[in-house]
Amino acid sequence: MEQIRNFCIIAHIDHGKSTLADRLLQSTGTVNERDMQAQLLDDMDLERERGITIKSHAIQMDYVHEGQTYTLNLIDTPGHVDFSYEVSRSIAACEGALLIVDAAQGIEAQTISNLYLALEHDLEIIPVLNKIDLPSAMPEEVTDEIVSLIGCDPTDVIHASAKEGIGITDILEAIIHRIPAPKGDLQKPLKAMIFDSVFNPFRGIEVYFRVFDGEINKGDKVKFVNTGKTYEADEIGVLKLQQQPKDTIKAGNVGYIISGIKVAKEVKVGDTITHVNKPCEAVKGFENVKPMVFAGIYPVETSEFEELRASMEKLQLNDASLIWEPETSAALGFGFRCGFLGMLHMEIVQERLEREFDMTVITTVPSVQFHAVKSDGTIIKINAPSEMPEPNTISHIEEPFIRAQIITKDEFIGNIISLCMDKRGIIKNQVYLTTERVELTFELPLSEIVFDFFDKLKTLSKGYASLDYELIGFRQSTMVKLDIMLNGDRVDALSAIVHRDKAYEWGKRLCEKLRELIPRQMFEIAIQASIGTKIIARESVKAMRKNVLAKCYGGDISRKRKLLEKQKKGKKRMRQVGNVEIPQEAFMAVLKLD
Amino acid sequence: MTVALCEEIKLRQNYLEREPINTVYFGGGTPSILSKDNLSSILETIHKYFSVNHDAEITLEANPDDLNSEKLRDLYGLGVNRLSIGIQSFKEEVLHFLNRAHNRKQALNSVSEARNIGFNNISIDLIYGIPINSHEDWENDLHEITKIKPEHISSYCLTIEPKTVFGHRAKMGTLSLKGEDFEARQYELLIEKLKSIGYEHYEVSNFCLPGMHSKHNSSYWKQAKYLGIGPGAHSYNGASRQFNVTNNHKYISSLYKDNIPTQQEVLSREDKVNEYLLTGLRTIWGVDLDYLKDNYDYDLKKLKGSYVNNLIDNRFATLDANDLKLTEEGLLLADEISASLFI
């Protein structure tokens, strides 16, 4: 145990986490040049494109220091606010953390919140100033920021450039010297915590864990404490570049277990693995992951419902945080109401359905969960506008609020405060981290930030703002259900729950957006927004006037047939409501208001 | 080129299974640049390898500036009995805008000269939807028709194709069309005017005095077999369509080696049905639902009944003894409608 070091990397997107991880793997000889793929730890295409490690992984390195071989377990952490619970579990599996800060950018909000998490878990922090080679690097300022944040000595901050290979040995030495070896009792009952899982289509779910006490052996009968399920440890091992099966994993170490689990839902991050015969107490901090954003997912082709179900089931095998149940929409037919960790998670699910399963789907207006409180105090949870009860049957509506931390340059404070006020926010605190950088704290309705808040924040601050948030509870709000009608038929998939003060503006803008997105058809289309029976906005799409090619002679017929076949195919991607054909993107129109 | 064309005619003498020929059409560009001898040898070759009906319609497409009286006399003498003249507009500014080589005077003269020489079946082309041409300008253009009374008029909406001068200008942002409403209005003006002076609107872009339909073009819309000779020409034999290589040089060098440089596309049942719909719906003859059902087992009334009824209720179409025909309103949306009725 003395020779084990468990650590994670805390970094903002683009601050160089993945590149640094690659360098560590190279320096320790875990991978050779030939195997080296840029940004090795992010192995899903999507992750690579978005530059975000969505699902955490772990990798074990061997490092020889003064004749002694050390085992270094690097536990990767996701870098997006949608996945903060997973981050907390990865942190709980470590004794130390590398805090990577871009020397040109400074610390961002997400980094700070993860840093706080690490400090809560008593992790030893090794600050690393990355991208030191950039001409725009400001090592003194950023070092000051780090020092004032974690109270370390400026000389503790390692200067590095993962890209250029500068400072890598210093980092490895610091890991050995500064991060404490894990503590654990080999004699106690097995206590291991799950921090991640991965779906393997041939072997079922691979579960990654950290052993705190005792040891796990191949063939042991084990129990997952929170789900209560028992399994046999068919295979256990450590995670090198490839899995390396072992007979035993002892306290302090990190490993994987394969036990024939087929569904990701059975594996909950933060759950405890123990022996069936000699159980331990559960590791503290376990939570069931709660979805924050809800939306309907429908096949574009109604006949593809069963195919979509099969795809969703497969997707859920390796994405336990995705939840769904069947839902019916008058406009869209059969589909699923899904719960996501956040908007990024929603986009990822949609893209994976399209890329990995070749499904074309319509995603409806995303919504948060509202509570309708009846006069006797009972709560009805509302995950979709269609579930909104008639106003006279309830006492009031409550909506989820968050506390948001925004770090920015002081010149953008004004812009950001007016954005947050516009989003019904209340400013709670304002702290200068340095003479230029400010941390603002707001309380905001979650529904106001799920759509485009982050993009707006980035634009207003020219990219110099970062955001982190946590849920702080439900508060009473005057929410109303806004409906959209096309030629008098209500399109349930376009309904939304919005604040009364914003309903008129919302209705007006949504009608305008729909007028742009719905192509002219053979009949004029009336677009109306209403609250209850009251029409609050209207627009119309004029009837199509002309759709006919001029020439159609001998040499034109083939080409023209193909052209019209393509036109027909385009129509198939649209949804028919009454006699109106609605393109897929109209259902997402809400996201593009402005 | 003429040698190659004659060679292709010879090589493909059996394509139409020796059925007699009712129409010959020189088109696709400006065949009027062919010399008298060239034209004569092509026609002779056709007569040598095909049996051409004595009253066959023999059309030649020409630009007004190519049609001087000598040329017209030659053509008439060779047996050309129908002219399709690319007049496009009677307005100087518009002709200039369209990069045409002729002027208003030549446009008018070409028709009167042809009449003098004896041509009694003349078609002219006109273009509408031109950005610099207001509705009033267009009405003036149409008024010229009353003076020259051609037997046939084809009128097309200006479209911008990529890789053309206009395509380039559109890409650079120096040219833009006026859009659907503008074009639709000019199309309506066209129909109103021509109908009021006795023309029959028998296909989306085609009008004629009674009985003067283009026999040649009508056969494309009636699924007749046709043989196309020359680079880029298409042929159809009832089962497949063939299209020749478009490059002149490749065309000639291939025929020099007795090879017809052509590709073939075999038409499936779906292709045939869809082509029947898209061509038929453009004409006053419409599509025969019984024909579709009997020949292709495609029961439009059963499969698209509510759509068809909707068309009829909203006066986009009529159903008359199981012939589905588009109204003038429907013709404006012919592509939209036929695509919706496709298999």
Q: For position A46, what pLDDT does the model report?
A: 52
A552 and B338 in contact by Cβ < 8 A? Answer: no
A553 and B220 in contact by Cβ < 8 A? Answer: yes
CB contact at 8 A, A99 and A64: no
Q: Which residues of B touch A560 (CB under 8 A)?
A: 278
A567 and B221 in contact by Cβ < 8 A? Answer: no
Asked if A177 is an interface residue toward chain B (Cβ–Cβ < 8 A), one would say no
Average pLDDT along chain A: 88
CB contact at 8 A, B71 and B77: no
Chain B residues contacting A via beta carbons under 8 Å: 28, 156-157, 159, 180-181, 183-184, 187, 204-205, 217, 220-221, 226, 228, 232-236, 241, 243, 265, 271, 274-275, 278-279, 282, 310, 314, 316, 331-340, 342
What's the gap in Å between the CA of A39 and the closest CA on chain B?
40
Chain A residue nearest residue B25, CA to CA: A554
Q: What is the rounded distance in angstroms from the CA atom of residue A526 to the CA atom of residue A488? A: 7
Q: What is the rounded distance in angstroms from the CA atom of residue B112 to the CA atom of residue B116? A: 6
Phi and psi of B169, rounded to 5°? -65, -35
Nearest CB partner across the interface for B265, out of A553, A554, A558: A558
Question: Does the annotation place A262 within a ligand binding site?
Answer: no
B184 and A546 in contact by Cβ < 8 A? Answer: yes
Task: Find where tokens 């004409």 sit.
Answer: B283
Residues 506-565 of A with CB under 8 A from B: 520, 522-523, 544-555, 557-558, 560-561, 564-565
Q: In what helix (H) or strand (E) does residue B8 lie, and over which residues does it extend? A: helix B2-11
Q: Which residues of A touch B278 (CB under 8 A)?
A: 552, 557, 560-561, 564
Can you give the pTM of this predicted structure?
0.70
Nearest CB partner across the interface for B336, out of A522, A554, A560: A522
Nearest CB partner across the interface for A568, out of B220, B282, B339: B339
ipTM higher than the 0.85 cut: yes
A555 and B232 in contact by Cβ < 8 A? Answer: yes
A544 and B336 in contact by Cβ < 8 A? Answer: yes
Chain B residue nearest residue A548, CA to CA: B335
Q: Which residues of A touch B338 (CB under 8 A)?
A: 564
What's the gap in Å between the CA of A508 and the closest CA on chain B?
26
- Pull the structure tokens for residue A471: 């849920």
pLDDT tens digits, residue range B273-282? 999 999 999 9
Dmax over CA atoms of chain B, in Å, equals 59
CB contact at 8 A, A445 and A398: no
Q: For position A38, what pLDDT does the model report?
A: 52
Q: For position A591, what pLDDT does the model report?
A: 67
CB contact at 8 A, A423 and A453: yes
Task: Give mean pLDDT, residues A550-562.
Answer: 91
Q: For position A36, what pLDDT does the model report?
A: 60
Look up residue A43 and give its DSSP letter: -
Q: What is the rounded distance in angstroms from the CA atom of residue A262 to the CA atom of residue A580? A: 43
Question: Helix/strand/coil (H, E, C) string of B115-174?
Answer: HHHCCCCEEEEEEECCCCCCHHHHHHHHHHHHHHCCCEEEEEECCCCCCCHHHHHHHHCC
pLDDT tens digits, residue range A116-130? 888 888 999 999 999
pLDDT tens digits, residue range A190-243? 999 999 888 777 888 899 999 999 999 999 999 999 999 999 999 999 988 788
pLDDT tens digits, residue range A434-454? 788 899 999 999 999 887 788
Confidence of residue A105 (pLDDT cuts 50, 70, 90): confident
CB atoms within 10 A of CB A589: 23
Confidence of residue A264 (pLDDT cuts 50, 70, 90): confident
Confidence of residue A51 (pLDDT cuts 50, 70, 90): very low
Task: Give mean pLDDT, residues A512-516.
Answer: 94
CB contact at 8 A, A227 and A320: no
CB contact at 8 A, A546 and B337: no
Q: Which amino acid is at B296?
A: Y
Q: Which residues of B touch A559 (CB under 8 A)?
A: none
Identify which of A163, A146, A166, A164 has the alpha carbon closest to the alpha carbon of residue A155: A146
Chain A residue nearest residue B232, CA to CA: A555
Question: Does the annotation place A15 within a ligand binding site?
Answer: yes
**A-B Cβ pairs (cutoff 8 Å, strict):** 100
In DSSP notation, A520-588 reads P-SS-EEEEEEETTEEEEEEEEPPP-----S--STTTHHHHHHHHHHHHHHHHTSEEETTEEE-GGGGG
State the best of B234, B262, B287 to mutate against chain A, taking most chain A CBs within 10 Å.
Answer: B234
B275 and A520 in contact by Cβ < 8 A? Answer: no
Identify which of A22, A423, A30 has the alpha carbon closest to the alpha carbon of residue A238: A30
Chain A residue nearest residue B310, CA to CA: A579
Percent of chain A with pLDDT over 70: 94
pLDDT tens digits, residue range B21-64? 999 999 987 888 899 999 999 999 999 999 999 999 999 999 99
Is residue A67 classed as helix, strand or coil in its secondary structure?
A: coil
Chain B residue nearest residue A520, CA to CA: B180
- Pull the structure tokens for residue B208: 């004629």
Q: For position A33, what pLDDT does the model report?
A: 65
Mean pLDDT by 10 residues, chain B (343 residues): 95 93 90 91 96 96 93 95 96 93 94 96 96 95 94 95 87 88 95 96 97 96 94 93 94 93 94 96 96 95 93 95 95 95 94
pLDDT tens digits, residue range A177-194? 999 999 999 999 999 999
On the question of pLDDT at A26 being above 90, the answer is no
Confidence of residue A18 (pLDDT cuts 50, 70, 90): confident
pLDDT tens digits, residue range A570-594? 877 788 888 899 987 888 777 666 6
Confidence of residue A34 (pLDDT cuts 50, 70, 90): low
Chain A residue nearest residue B314, CA to CA: A523
* Residues 6+ away with beta carbon under 8 Å from A102: A12, A14, A15, A16, A130, A131, A142
What's the gap in Å between the CA of A565 and the closest CA on chain B?
6
Q: In what helix (H) or strand (E) does residue B9 lie, and over which residues does it extend? A: helix B2-11
Identify which of B128, B166, B169 has the alpha carbon closest to the alpha carbon of residue B145: B128
Q: For position A365, what pLDDT does the model report?
A: 83
What's the gap in Å between the CA of B332 and the closest CA on chain A?
5
Identify which of A196, A182, A26, A171 has the alpha carbon closest to the alpha carbon of residue A99: A171
Identify which of A383, A388, A394, A419 has the alpha carbon closest to the alpha carbon of residue A404: A419
What's the gap in Å between the CA of A576 and the closest CA on chain B?
12
Q: What is the rounded distance in angstroms from the CA atom of residue B325 to the CA atom of residue B284? A: 6
Chain A residue nearest residue B158, CA to CA: A550
